[in-house]
Chain A
Amino acid sequence: MDLASILYLGVTFGLFVIFVLIVLRTYSKKRKDEGEIAKYRMLDDE
């Protein structure tokens, strides 16, 4: 494996890790209610 491939895979894996962190944060029990507020607020945007 050359440096370019390692870099390419590294970036892909790095992005994947960020994605997993986003999922964990979004679905954390602590943030359950907060994560849904926006959908109610948008209905009342007068």
Chain B
Amino acid sequence: MKSTEYNYDIVRSFVNWSVLWGLVAVLVGVIVSFQMVDPRLNFPPYLTFGRLRPIHTNAGIYGWGVGVIFATFIYMVQRLCRTPLWSPKLARFQLWFFNATIIASAVTLLMGYTTSKEYHEMEWPIDVMVVILWVVFALNIIMTIIKRREEHMYISLWYMMASLVGVAILYLVNAAAVPVSLFKSYSAFAGTNDANVHWWFGHNAVAMALTAPPLAMFYYFLPKSTGVPIYSHRLSIIAFWSLLFMYLWTGAHHLLWTPVPDWIQTLAMGFSVMLIAPSWGSVINGYLSMNGQWHQMRENYLVKYLILGITFYGLQTIQGPMQAIRTFSAFIHYTDWVPAHIHMGTMGWVSMICFASIYYLVPRIYGKKLFSIPLANLQFWLILVGQLTWSFSLWIAGVLQAGMWTAMNPDGSLTYTFMETMVEMYPYWWIRSIGGLIYFVGVVVFIYNLVMTVRHGEIASTEAAAEGRA
């Protein structure tokens, strides 16, 4: 089918808005990191760490991450199914409803309304909005798949469908609550059941929002960028089903050493370790797809982002299972090690893949050549250095913190007071903030490059624009 029949208009809008929310997320991330090193930067009641932190996490995962999911899924589903989007009107509605939901979330969080469930902080009216949003999105993608003109379903479509169904189930179960007023509700679960459901949601949100969709993008944009197919489609299918099978049971690794029944914790631990296999199934498939193509790491900036992204995924999925082992968890849980893990995943894995996907998309959906490849390369180094600085400083801080918390005198009393351990954190938090700033500059360069491409980029047909990939 001719590419002009695909609907790119809506992809453009989702790209633009997700980039904006990404900028907000990273900016607020930098602000909260500075609030940790200098508490005078807290301006109560609205601009405090407590209120801005959930704005950062939600803007990062739902504004940036999910925004890019909307853009790329709508693009990929049309191409992979060789058919235009089922309902562009519904997608347009979805765009504005998405922005309304993000804005409503930010406003209510700033006002201090929260369920206090991490990654699900928004109160019930916003839950209703999220459900409508997701149903509309899922319907459009699934209907497009149903009326497809391509018999063979590529692996990205499988990951997309898993994410659509998975997020719906997780969100609905975790959102079960009894509203008592417009902005207050109580969870339908209590005690350890509540914690268990919450982290079943929490970790599967990692699976269905921060793993399956970036994998769908990786499997699509890597071969598209290199021009050679992935190493093994069958391996990707096995890795897919085993990932789904194993992720479901791992949520309780967030609750090790808590009153949640021991056998649930052990099960979560076992399945977390087993998760290394399907995760590395994709990593190895990615690396083997580069057989004979490694020179493209030098010549093609998209490949650089994608391969570094999958490498961070590989590291993340070795570190994660380690953290899920009881003895290791006893050491690092509650310490700064954990945010370092998270940001290798979000700033490294997820965002690298999102940047690559957008760089791939923009020339094609706007029909313009990328404004500057050197700037794209510069951004690559800025975000890589920024992310590594961020994570390494906090890994070191986390180990130090854990060591100090557990240090004991011969008489069994604790060697350090809690305040003493906090004071030791400051140099590392400064370094983290600097890493964050470097990353932020990288994002600004990214946006500048995109704006210049759209405004002043050389006009080219979508196919010719693609030639500028090197």
Closest to A27 in B: B234
| A3 at the binding interface (Cβ < 8 Å) | no
Tell me whether A26 and B152 are in contact in the complex, defined as CB-CB below 8 angstroms, given that A43-B223, A43-B229 are known contacts: no
17 contacts between A and B (CB under 8 A): A12-B249, A15-B245, A26-B234, A26-B237, A26-B238, A36-B232, A38-B154, A39-B155, A39-B232, A41-B150, A41-B154, A42-B156, A42-B220, A43-B227, A45-B150, A46-B1, A46-B3
Q: Which residues of B contact A16 (CB under 8 A)?
A: 245
CB distance from B264 to the nearest CB of A (A): 10
Complex contact B241–A22 (CB within 8 A): yes
Complex contact A38–B153 (CB within 8 A): yes
Name B residues whose Cβ lies closer than 8 Å to a Cβ of A: 1-3, 79-80, 82, 150, 152-156, 220, 223-224, 227, 229-230, 232-234, 237-238, 241-242, 245, 249, 463
Binary CB contact string for chain A from 14 to 44 against chain B (1 if under 8 A, 0 otherwise): 0110010011001100000001111111110
- The distance in angstroms between the C-alpha atoms of A38 and B79, with both chains bound, is 13
Q: Which residues of B contact A15 (CB under 8 A)?
A: 245
Q: Which residues of B contact A23 (CB under 8 A)?
A: 238, 241
Closest to B230 in A: A39
Tell me whether A45 and B223 are in contact in the complex, defined as CB-CB below 8 angstroms, given that A23-B238, A26-B237, A39-B154 are known contacts: no
Number of A-B contacts (CB under 8 A): 60
Tell me whether A35 and B245 are in contact in the complex, defined as CB-CB below 8 angstroms, given that A40-B229, A42-B154 are known contacts: no
Q: Which residues of B contact A40 (CB under 8 A)?
A: 229
Q: Which residues of B contact A19 (CB under 8 A)?
A: 241-242, 245
Complex contact B245–A43 (CB within 8 A): no
Point out which of B223, B237, B249 has the most chain A C-beta atoms below 10 A from its C-beta: B237
Closest to A16 in B: B245
